[in-house]
Structure 1
Amino acid sequence: MKNILIVDDQAIIRQLLEISLQGEGRQVFLAESGEQAVQLAEDHRFDLIIVDLMMPGGMDGFETIEYLQQSPVYKQCPFMILTAKDQQPERDRAASLGVGDYLVKPFKLDDLFARVDNLLGAG
């Protein structure tokens, strides 16, 4: 079973991703903030973490990734950024963190599936 964590402040995006990615040997967990993602990451082991960049609260997407990557458990875990921000500075920062993929909203589900399969090693 592959565990996927989705971190996005928009409930509709979380629900869409959960419905789309659940099943086929995958279990999906949802977090609406970076802080909630960190709590879930302490209780579960994730094979892929999908993170939005712009989130309210104390931790944005980059801070969430940086925090989780400090843990030996998540140092090698693939991350995907799913965001509306399609600017080069964000892409450069994602690359510097070793983020496995960067998908811009709005997105096509087929594109999402292909990228998730690739990051999970299924494609």
Structure 2
Amino acid sequence: MNVETQDAGGAGRGARLLVVEDDPSLQVMMRYNLEKLGYAVDVASDGAAALNAVSAARPDLVLLDWMLPGGMSGLDVCRRLRALPGDNAIPVIMLTARSEETDAISGLENGADDYLTKPCSIATLDARIKAMLRRMNVTYDELRFEDIVLDPTKHRVERSGRKIQLGPTEYRLLEFFMRRPGRVFSREDILKAIWGENIHVEIRTVDVHIRRLRREINAPGEADLIRTVRSAGYALDNTPD
């Protein structure tokens, strides 16, 4: 898929997308372009990882490649998503190089809500995503934990009323934790959630970005709400060690 890099005005839409794509370079490119448009993006490289990602954090929309490794195709994933209790409403846009009309019909009959043929531009993909979310009446409420407020729509973070400027990775980290307060995540869990699978990033990179996030959100005298759990990982928690 040839995704064209464009700046479409940077509208902070705030929707959480799950991109299911096995090509690592395409994963990176799609995440970069979609996050630039204001979406929060998770990635998965195969069908099993996609279903696990949906179970861990329900996305607002799934961008699903047809051809996937591991014996589970995009059609299989779509059918399983539709069989999950309470998850029938997750919209699915199928992305595939298969351009025959019968392929489009097959994708739609197996539960996809829309069908895009590769290659397509990021502008076309963005338009389809927005149209789908409008039909689903998806809204994005503020996330709050203690005195921290994260507004996914405006891509804005405040603590005790002061604005906090975060880099893209630190923003994703904070949003990841704020959607799952109190839960302990290993460094491996965080690496997969923030950077994606099959992306070669050193495990200690997680610690570096956690330190940066702490430095930005913690003013002098404020409690450190990111708890380090020895031999386990990190959590957003107000419980003292």
The TM-score, its normalising length taken from structure 1, stands at 0.90
CA shift digits 1:13-41 (9 cap, x unpaired)? 21121111115552100000011001111
Aligned to 1:116: 129
Of 46, 64, 82, the residue aligned with 1:51 is 64
The CA deviation at 1:77 is: 1.1
Aligned to 2:112: 99
Please say if 1:64 is aligned against 2:55: no
* Separation in 1, partners of 2:37, 2:119: 24
Letter in 1 for 2:90: C
The CA deviation at 1:55 is: 1.1
* Separation in 1, partners of 2:36, 2:44: 18
Letter in 2 for 1:48: L
Structure 1 gap segments, 5+ residues each: none
Aligned to 2:25: 12
Please say if 1:38 is aligned against 2:51: yes
* Separation in 2, partners of 1:25, 1:38: 24
* Separation in 1, partners of 2:36, 2:134: 16
* Separation in 1, partners of 2:111, 2:76: 14
> Cα RMSD (Å) of the superposition?
1.6
Letter in 2 for 1:44: A
Q: When the two structures are aligned, how many residues end up with a matched partner?
A: 122
The answer to whether the Cα contact below 8 Å between 1:83 and 1:104 also exists between their aligned partners in 2 is yes
The TM-score, its normalising length taken from structure 2, stands at 0.48
* Worse overlay, 17-26 or 58-67: 17-26
The CA deviation at 1:3 is: 1.1
Which fold has the larger relative contact order, with Cα–Cα distance below 8 Å and residues 6 or more apart in sequence? 1
SS at 1:106 equivalent: coil
The CA deviation at 1:72 is: 2.5
Structure 2 gap segments, 5+ residues each: 1-13, 136-241
* Separation in 2, partners of 1:88, 1:23: 32
Of 65, 76, 79, the residue aligned with 2:92 is 79
Moved over 3 A (4+): none
The answer to whether the Cα contact below 8 Å between 1:8 and 1:55 also exists between their aligned partners in 2 is yes
The CA deviation at 1:48 is: 0.2
SS at 1:54 equivalent: coil
The answer to whether the Cα contact below 8 Å between 2:82 and 2:111 also exists between their aligned partners in 1 is no
Find the structure with the greater CA-based Rg: 2
The answer to whether the Cα contact below 8 Å between 1:35 and 1:58 also exists between their aligned partners in 2 is no
